[in-house]
Amino acid sequence: MPVTEILEQNADKFKDDVSLVEINPALIKNHRITWKEYALIETDPRASYRHEITWGEFNKKANRFANLLLSRGIKKGDKVAILLMNCLEWLPIYFGVLKTGALAVPLNYRYTAEEIKYCLKLSESSMLVFGPEFTGRVEEICDQIPDVAQVFYVGEDCPSFAESYDKLVTYCSTKNPGIKICDEDDAAIYFSSGTTGFPKAILHAHMSLMHACRVEQNHHSQTKDDTFLCIPPLYHTGAKMHWFGSLLVGGKAVLLKGVKPEWILKTVSEEECTIVWLLVPWAQDILDAIERGDINLEDYKLSQWRLMHIGAQPVPPSLIKRWKKYFPNHQYDTNYGLSESIGPGCVHLGVDNIEKVGAIGVPGYGWQVKIVKEDGTEAETGQVGELIVKGPGVMKCYYNDEKATAEVLKDGWLYTGDMAEKDADGFIYLVDRKKDVIISGGENLYPVQIEDFLRKNDKINDVAVIGLPDARLGEIAAAIIQLKPGFTCSEEEINEFCHGLPRYKRPHKIIFATVPRNPTGKIEKPKLRQIYCGESLVAAQIKN
């Protein structure tokens, strides 16, 4: 059964119940009143920072967009790209695409114009839906994407090169278009990257999305009475697949646009959230604010909050120890996954296993997991090998990339590239990554992209980017820079030069030193990690 049918069922059974709430605290004018009170007294709907829709409205919005797409010639198997910040329209648009039998293609909102163009071409998207935050980037490439025949804009003040989504859907039918969809049909393309930094298009079938619903609900026992607080971006499999647990039971979800500790706690309190998924930096910030005295927990209604779970990066055991000091009644879980395995849950700690914090956990619901050695045989307890997973949520392939697919999919097993070991109780611990990807605050950074940018500086002879441990972000990007003979350069100059990079890709640490290379010309990053990670790890542990 495709997830679109779950939406139809919710609209039938829970028509008038709230499905989604959007909160944007940055728009608030009076922080002393509640979200709902402010929404009631604010006369300008554009300025109100709290909006909600019911399951009935959610389904109608999805049907309207599906019928608009069909009227514009979109058919089963076509691809529709979505480039939006989290908002009430995001999920109805996503489901509208799925209802036509077309593939939804979510795009990372941090992509540059060139990256957007690359992904549109790679996925063979024929339509793009975007929001006001991306007008400049889309305008920059709109003449360079001829295969994208239609461009829809979500918001006010529609630019001349696009059509207004808001105006067009008003005249479309709210009836289900009735397109037959099977579990094996293609559903969505998500993007990932290897150490080269070139995005790969990850193709998932409808059965993957449905499996994600079942996994999430099995792991975290959502009921209709639960309210899920969603903060991470919906373009990513992590946020969306955790929300799928709420979809399955018809529970409410809150989309919070902001990560300030006081905003998170105020939202949990006033929306009566019971489940919150945090990244490590956000959890750290909440604890730091409590310990500084900036936040008084007695000011908030938090007794209903039952589960805090974390994913996207390794979790320091000391963080959870601190968390339980202030929130002793919380259940805790951590989730491991990849976009290739439809996001979180192929491995998870489990709410009853908090004594194993530090491990990523055990096989998730419906998943098989192995740790294998180089020769393909299964590693014994305590032996390090590559983590591989198998289950209904494994991708079909890397779209239009048979070679890359063959490298990671073997006999139904997905080879993750992560090195791990298993203890005597069967709990899995990550040891290292085969890839050089840096995970900073839950975001993947690709060293080659940063290195290629830095090499454009006339003073730089060679450069290597590695990840250093960081107590708050998990890892930070460090650039080891070897200057050309006779040149001098300061850290401030490099930081200024890096303004040409998106903020999240800029190195946090600059080190002027020799970049070692082996006889074949490859940078010896293990040697650099040995030199610099030890010092950084000690500093991170002291800070933590």
For residue range 256-270, list pLDDT tens digits in order.
999 999 999 999 999
Q: From CA 396, how far away is CA 384, in angstroms rounded?
A: 28
DSSP letters for 61-107: HHHHHHHHHHHTT--TT-EEEEE--S-TTHHHHHHHHHHTTPEEEE-
422 in a domain, yes or no? no
CATH of residue 92: 3.40.50.12780
pLDDT at 83 over 80: yes
CATH of residue 516: 3.30.300.30
Q: From CA 196, how far away is CA 476, in angstroms rounded?
A: 18
224 in a domain, yes or no? yes
Q: Which residues pair with 357 in a beta bridge?
A: 359
Q: From CA 539, how far away is CA 544, in angstroms rounded?
A: 9
DSSP letters for 111-144: --HHHHHHHHHHHT-SEEEE-GGGHHHHHHHGGG
Residue that is last in its domain, among 311, 327, 346: 311
Are 430 and 312 in contact, with CB atoms under 8 Å apart?
no
pLDDT at 538 over 80: no
CA atoms within 13 A on the CB side of 233: 14
3-state SS of the chain: helix, strand, coil percent to 5?
35, 25, 35
The distance of Cα 517 from the centroid of its chain, to the nearest Å, equals 34
DSSP letters for 490-521: -HHHHHHHGGGS-GGGS-SEEEE----B-TTS
Q: How many domains does the chain have?
A: 2
DSSP letter at 133 equals G
**Distance of CA 463 to CAs 103, 238, 497, 517, Å?**
40, 32, 14, 11
Residue that is last in its domain, among 278, 311, 344: 311
Q: What is the pLDDT of residues 411-456, one digit of tens each?
A: 999 999 888 899 999 999 987 666 677 888 888 787 877 888 898 8
The stretch 390-402 carries a mean pLDDT of 96
Residue that is last in its domain, among 261, 286, 311: 311
Which residue, among 90, 166, 151, has the nearest Cα to 116 in the 3D structure? Answer: 151
The answer on 158 and 303 residing in a single domain is yes
184 in a domain, yes or no? yes
Q: From CA 358, how far away is CA 320, in angstroms rounded?
A: 10
397 in a domain, yes or no? no
337 in a domain, yes or no? no
Which residue, among 210, 226, 174, has the nearest Cα to 56 in the 3D structure? Answer: 174
The stretch 17-40 carries a mean pLDDT of 76
**Distance of CA 44 to CAs 39, 47, 48, 69, 258, Å?**
9, 5, 7, 31, 21
379 in a domain, yes or no? no
Mean pLDDT of the chain: 90
Which residue, among 18, 57, 51, has the nearest Cα to 35 in the 3D structure? Answer: 51
Q: What is the pLDDT of residues 513-530, one digit of tens each?
A: 999 876 445 678 888 988
DSSP letter at 186 equals E
**Distance of CA 27 to CAs 30, 174, 383, Å?**
9, 31, 53
328 in a domain, yes or no? no
The stretch 399-403 carries a mean pLDDT of 95
Q: From CA 239, how far away is CA 335, in angstroms rounded?
A: 12
Domain that holds residue 186: 3-311
Give kind and range of the element (H or E) at residue 478.
Answer: strand 474-483
pTM of the model: 0.83
Three-state SS across 159-204? CCCCEEHHHHHCCCCCCCCCCCCCCCCEEEEEEEECCCCCEEEEEE
Q: Residue 226 — pLDDT band, cuts 50, 70, 90?
A: very high
367 in a domain, yes or no? no
